[in-house]
Structure 1
Amino acid sequence: MAGSQKHKMGALQLTIITVVNMIGSGIIMLPSQMAGVGNITIFSWILTSVGAMALAYGFAKCGRYSKNIGGMGGYAQYSFGRSGNMLANYTYAIAIVIANVGVAISAVGYFCNFFDIELGGIATALWTMLFIWLTTLPNFWSSKITGRIGSVTVWGVIIPVIGIIILGWFWFKTDIYVAGWNPHHLGFFDALPQALALTMWAFLGLESASANSDAVENPEKAVPIAVLAGTLFTAVIYILSTAVIGGIIPYQELAASSAPFGLVYSHMFGGVTGKIIELLMCIACLGSLLTWQFTTGQVFKSCADVGYFYKIFGKITKRGAPVIGMIIICIVQSLFLMMSITPSFSHEFNVIVDFSVVIDLIPYILSMSACSTIIKSSDEFKQGKLSHSKLVTIGMVCFLANAYTFYAIYSSGSQAVVYGSLVTFAGWVIFGRYTSAQQNKPVIEQSNNDEQKEVLQS
């Protein structure tokens, strides 16, 4: 027992992992997108930070008291049964498929800036397809290589972002920031929702922190501390980095850029440094895409293994890779790109962000709604170790998290909501067809099979 405790993580290590999981490649296009609205979007960052912390708190409690495997699907099953499990995992999987396209577009943007290439809508889609397929092929062979590459390349984003926060203030000019505060003269409640989906996009992945509870020493205290501290630290990084960039580069120039961090480093230290940053961030995006394409294949495989999705996604090679499933996913992503072609690089990125956020927030709603049921089903609650006041507090926080989530979905726009709803409803067709033979199976409880648990939690 002492040996196993010795090798477990502490709260600080888990906090670092949480921060790295969230920052990833989500921020590298945001300064340009936010500049299109104005620096007033700092209020969107603040609102989303509060909402993200409420969500993080709820996920920490779900991860602490749930006995089901399967991540958010396992949480949803407590209140909504097997259909809730299916819906959470299905929508999460589809959201990742779409979000990965956004990551690939970000990589294309920095790649094109590095080589001074100008692309139209069709060319952007074709380059994005190429990046998607290139980052999927290595996953056919070894998952270990995928993990190692992703853990290294992520620093190509983190280091430049931290560098901006520390050094950027020496180039910050108040008049530039003020000029870009609200250039379109929007009302406060008109400007706030315009950037809410973008800011929520940056925090997607916060739910992954609670999946590491078994590897943490004293998880009851460490997991909530790490999740909340990690989310708060990430929020500070996002707010400070976008704020300082908004005071260095005029909003018109920033909004037109497809590589904002390369642009600001070029302004600060010259073109060569800007090119280096563009290359680092392009590599970081590709590394992130490599790991997320692998994760997407595994999520679909997990759904197929428990009868929630087409069995073809569960077929694996001798190396354990769901190759056929990953190929189908790439084909779907390619078709989505061809269907969503727009003349504007920025507009296409926004369409993808809005769509993926709407779908990804559905399992968040299911998880937050099931949190109280999870806690009431725990041994601690049954033994009277959890007070009624604590349960009420948790319920209130989860209610606030859901309120924010609904507002974020509304802010994504009617088009994204309609398409997201259609994709979600299509899941019931799949569920009805592929679960009829498993209706008498018991609730999926926590398994001793560590490998299965790790795959499902991913």
Structure 2
Amino acid sequence: MTSTATLPAEAAAPPEQGRAPHARRFGLPVATCLVMGNIIGGGIFLLPASVAPFGTISLVAFAVLTAGAIALALVFGRLAERHPQTGGPYVYARAAFGDFAGFLAAWSYWITAWVSNAALAVAAVGYLTVLFPAAGEHKWSMCLAALAVQWLPALSNLAGTRYVGAVQVVATVLKFAPLLLVAVGGLFFFDPANLGPFRATEQSAAGAVSASAAILLFSYLGVESATVSAGEVRDPARNVGRATVLGTVGAATVYLLGTVAVFGLVAHDRLVSSTAPFTDAVNAMFGGTWGGTVVACAAVVSMLGALNGWTLLSAQTPYAAAKDGLFPKAFERKKRGVPVVGVVVTVALASALTVYNYTAGTQGVFESLVLITTFTATVPYLLATAAQIYFLLSGQRERVHPGRLARDGVLAALAFGFSMWLVAGSGYAAVYQGVLFLFAGVLVYAAMSARKHRAAVSPAE
């Protein structure tokens, strides 16, 4: 096998060749909304409580993470100029390093998707217990609630894409309402006495920033959305990079304001143990519990909507890889426009991981799952940034302005270093579990490669 893979004809052709007239229907505004909407999922509803144990230094981590995410966004934009077709990190890794690297990017992205689904379900349970306190009385009742939250969106997906879209419209509206209420309105009720210590752990400042950033990366998953859908964006060489940066900055603004507001509305000692921080914040704003109950309803629906969309995305990733012969053919099977095998396998794996983590203990289940996604998400990020470095150093600089060469190299190096820093901040346990998931894919790749080899030599025999 050569060091670079042969891309499909679509990849080798100029952007406007070989495509239907409607293929690039997203302009810059829609592409920006796609990025922002995918980044702002359901995890933000629990993240303020997840990073509160580190103290307000986690706000510094937010700033560092935003800068790193923008560096990644700029690198993705440059790569989209070179390969303006759907696929994102998978396409870039495969173009630079061959099928195996492309498979690792797709495999790790798929793992990230379904582990994220498990994390979102756990986050939803925290708000579900506000509405139904009995659900939080025992770890097994919480586990069953988390499983129900995962399977309801799966059933919606299996019913067809028409229902998936309808759920998404309602969930998106309900998602932004409580976030904007707290992010903007909460600043008028801000009490500095609630902030707590700047550094609440015995870690060094650098260690605390790194550890909290590893958790917060979960909230930035989706920064690559425009590149994954680059083939559907009008003038991707121009718009993908801009949409990625604008969407990342917009999401970061909502996140930072919302987290600052929650920190100032809920006392630190209470926030550390909160399972529904935005509910607690709204209760502090208006008094009583009615406001928090409304927010809890909106948060649950929002996270169901996020699970609805990510379940479909989790199924589409192996579907695309299966069409390239890198995943089992069963994942190509579609019904009512939905890859049914991908949906069932994805939700089954997420359910098994949920049960395992609740069996290990209810404390820190969300954080444990989030840190696994931090490791697996950085694999395609590392491969994509390494691909950019490879393209620049090997002299493959087509479609790259000579005046930008040094700047592109610096951006790629910064994005690569940023991704490595996130891996280090994930902790040994998360890296251990993430590596096990990643290496399991090597066996799948071996089986798929053997099958392709047999298919290639059989006619000759």
Q: How does 1:248-287 map to 2 (within 5 A)?
A: 248-270=265-287, 271-287=289-305
User: Do residues 405 (structure 1) and 414 (structure 2) align?
Assistant: no
Deviation at 1:311, TM superposition (A): 2.8
Distance of 1:439 and 1:306 partners within structure 2:
14
Deviates more, 1:410-419 or 1:61-70: 61-70
User: Which residue of 1 is the match for residue 176 of structure 2?
Assistant: 158
Q: Which residue of 1 aligns with 2:432?
A: 418
> Contact 2:84–2:236 (CA<8 Å) still a contact in 1?
no
Question: Residue 345 of structure 2 aligns with which residue?
Answer: 328
- What secondary structure is seen at the aligned counterpart in 2 of 1:340? helix
Specify whether residues 434 and 8 from structure 1 end up closer, same or farther in structure 2 by C-alpha distance, changes over 3 A only: closer
Secondary structure of 1:154's counterpart equals: helix
Check if 1:46 corresponds to 2:63: yes
Deviation at 1:331, TM superposition (A): 2.2
Which position in structure 2 is the counterpart of 1:445?
Answer: none
Separation of aligned partners in 1, 2:389 and 2:130: 49
Inter-partner Cα distance in structure 1 for 2:93 and 2:248 = 22
Shift of 1:197: 1.4
Q: What TM-score results when the alignment is normalised by the length of structure 2?
A: 0.87
Partner of 1:239: 256
In structure 2, relative to structure 1, the CA distance for the partners of 1:9 and 1:296 (3 Å cut) is closer
Partner of 1:257: helix, strand, or coil? coil
Say if 2:86 and 2:230, in contact at 8 Å, map to a contact too: no
> Which residue matches 2:160?
142
Relative contact order (C-alpha < 8 Å, sep 6+): which is higher? 1
- Structure 2: 5+ residue stretches without partners: 1-15, 457-461
**What is the identity, as a one-letter code, of the residue corresponding to 2:224?**
E
Whether the aligned pair in 2 keeps the contact of 1:172 and 1:244 (CA below 8 Å) is yes
Name the structure 2 match of 1:453: none
Q: Distance in 2 between matches of 1:65 and 1:155?
A: 35
Q: What is the deviation of 1:375?
A: 7.0
Quote the offset at 1:112 in angstroms.
Answer: 1.0
Check 1:440–1:400 CA distance in 2 against 1; reply closer, same or farther (3 A cut): farther
- The answer for the alignment partner of 1:34 in structure 2 is 51
Residue in structure 2 matching 1:133, options 135, 143, 151: 151
Q: Distance in 1 between matches of 2:441 and 2:168?
A: 31
Aligned positions of 1:244-393 closer than 5 A: 244-270=261-287, 271-317=289-335, 319-341=336-358, 345=362, 347-373=364-390, 381-382=397-398, 386-393=400-407
Q: Give the Cα separation in 2 of the matches to 1:68 and 1:287.
A: 27
**TM-score of the pair, normalised by structure 1:** 0.88
- Whether the 8 Å CA contact 2:318–2:342 is kept in 1: the answer is yes
Could you tell me which residue of structure 2 aligns to residue 195 of structure 1? 212
> Aligned partner of 1:313: which letter?
F
- 1:221, 1:295 → 2: CA distance? 25
Deviations 1:286-344 (A, max 9, x none): 11111211221221222223222233323333x24332332232222222122212676
The superposition leaves residues 19-50 of structure 1 with CA deviations (integer Å, 9 ceiling, x where unpaired) of: 11111213110111111221111111111111
User: In the alignment, which residue of structure 1 is the partner of 2:450?
Assistant: 436
Give, in whole Å, the separation in 2 of the partners of 1:232 and 1:66. Answer: 24
Partner of 1:396: 410
Distance 1:440 1:147 in 2: 41
SS of aligned partner of 2:342: helix
Structure 1 16/304 Cα, relative in aligned 2: closer, same or farther at 3 Å?
closer
Native 8 Å contact 2:87 2:227 kept in 1 = no
CA contact (8 A) 1:68 1:75 kept: no
Stretch deviating more after TM superposition (288-297 or 340-349): 340-349
Identical aligned pairs, as a percentage? 25
- Residue 18 (structure 1) aligned with residue 32 (structure 2): no
Determine if contact 2:115/2:373 at 8 Å carries over to the other structure: yes
Which whole-Å CA distance do the structure 1 matches of 2:119 and 2:433 have between them?
A: 17
Q: How much has 1:392 moved relative to structure 2?
A: 2.5
**Matched residues in 2 for 1:295 and 1:166: separation?**
31
- Deviation per CA, 1:209-259: give whole Å up to 9, x if none: 224444444443333222112212222221221112111111111111111
Partners of 2:360 and 2:293 in 1: CA distance: 25
Matched-pair contact (CA < 8 Å) for 2:86–2:229: no
For 2:341 and 2:28, how far apart are their aligned partners in 1? 39
Matched letter for residue 285 of structure 2: M
Most deviating of 97-106 and 333-342: 333-342
Contact 2:279 2:295 in 1 (8 A): yes
| Count of residues paired in the alignment | 436
Q: CA deviation at 1:9?
A: 4.3
Q: Deviations over 1:184-215 (max 9, x none)?
A: 45431231122111211110111012244444
The separation in 1 between residues aligned to 2:186 and 2:71, in whole angstroms, is 30
Q: 1:328 to 1:223 in 2, by over 3 A?
A: closer
Distance in 1 separating the partners of 2:47 and 2:442: 34
- For 2:254 and 2:347, how far apart are their aligned partners in 1? 32
Q: Which runs of 5+ in 1 are unaligned?
A: 443-458
